[in-house]
Structure 1
Amino acid sequence: METAKKTTITVSATINAPVAKVWDIWTNPEQIKQWTFASDDWHAPYADNDLRVDGTFKTTMAAKDGSFSFDFAGVYTEVENHKLIKYVLGDGREVKITFTEEGNMTKVHETFDPETQNSIEMQQSGWQSILDNFKKYVEEKK
């Protein structure tokens, strides 16, 4: 019997900061609002985060001109402090994020199930842009 291979998308970045700082900025709602968008014409006016197994999170991502917004939300399924976050989005897609300390650097590696509305390439580009924005924000925050 054959099993279907599940398509996933991966994005990653190596951040010039220790894992404790990276983790805090990734998980703190006030910090999340500062970096969770792919381009400068978007922002994140709301973020809530209960980082524990069965805890929930929600971040509102919105165009600054008010033309569009959506909530990115889910439930945590696994949390290992400074190392691993897994969650399930409202539509059932799964996301896994690993944080690997490499000296004074931290590698953030995200793998996620794609949605069906946008191309794989568009989704990968969008998530990578957000991760790149995160990297820039962390590295500029002294």
Structure 2
Amino acid sequence: MSTPGFDYTITRTLDAPVDKVWDAWVNPDNYGQWASAEQVALDVRPGGAWSAVMVIPGGARIPLSGTYTEVVPNKRLVMGMNVPGRGEPAIMDLDLTADGDRTQITLSQSFDTAEERDQAEQGSNMLLDGLTSFLAAA
């Protein structure tokens, strides 16, 4: 039973077909470009590990890692992210819905505090901005 938490859900329509959006998330070279990440390693399968060093504005580098819990190609990606000081990983659900040559993407997460949720939501919006720019240039 999950406890009531602080959730967010972001839905956007991307101007790219679903296979291109999927490839942007699961191809390490592509992910590194749009997510401002270095040293990207993605083992995209249930139980597979992922890691990346995010480079945030100002140049700070933040190492991130986790595992995939659900992988449905071109449809759904559920990944856990290891959070320092937290016993369980933070889970992010990514859902893709094809809409002709466009794709609806939905990201959602749940947190214990509003502060954690707000930080993650801001980060996810920045990620989606980068993804949108990457797909537009592709």
Which bracket does the TM-score occupy, shorter chain normalised?
0.7 to 0.9
Aligned in 2, Cα 1:46/1:136: closer, same or farther, shift over 3 Å? same
Q: Decide whether the 8 Å contact of 1:93 with 1:115 is kept in 2.
A: no
User: What corresponds to 1:40 in structure 2?
Assistant: none
Whether 2:84 is the aligned partner of 1:87: answer no
Whole-angstrom distance in 2 between the partners of 1:44 and 1:115: 26
TM-score in terms of structure 2 length: 0.84
TM-score in terms of structure 1 length: 0.82
Task: Kindly provide the amino acid, as one letter, of the partner of residue 60 in structure 1.
Answer: V
Task: Kindly provide the amino acid, as one letter, of the partner of residue 121 in structure 2.
Answer: Q
| Gapped regions of structure 1 (runs ≥ 5) | 37-42
Residues 27-46 of structure 1 aligned to structure 2 (within 5 Å):
27-36=26-35, 43-46=36-39
**Cα offsets for 1:80-109 (capped at 9, x unmatched):** 010001122113211110010011100111
Identity of aligned residues (%): 25
Give 1:123 shift. 2.8
Secondary structure at the aligned position of 1:31 is classed as: helix
Whole-angstrom distance in 1 between the partners of 2:63 and 2:24: 19
Whole-angstrom distance in 1 between the partners of 2:69 and 2:75: 14
Aligned in 2, Cα 1:95/1:123: closer, same or farther, shift over 3 Å? closer
User: What corresponds to 1:113 in structure 2?
Assistant: 110
What's the Cα RMSD here?
Answer: 2.2
Whole-angstrom distance in 1 between the partners of 2:23 and 2:47: 19
* Aligned mate of 1:49, from 26, 30, 42: 42
| Gapped regions of structure 2 (runs ≥ 5) | 84-88
Q: Decide whether the 8 Å contact of 1:13 with 1:132 is kept in 2.
A: no
User: What corresponds to 2:86 in structure 1?
Assistant: none
Across the two proteins, how many residue pairs are aligned to each other?
A: 133
User: What corresponds to 1:131 in structure 2?
Assistant: 128
Give 1:121 shift. 3.1
Q: Decide whether the 8 Å contact of 2:5 with 2:113 is kept in 1.
A: no
After the TM superposition, which parts of structure 1 deviate over 6 Å for at least 4 consecutive aligned residues? none
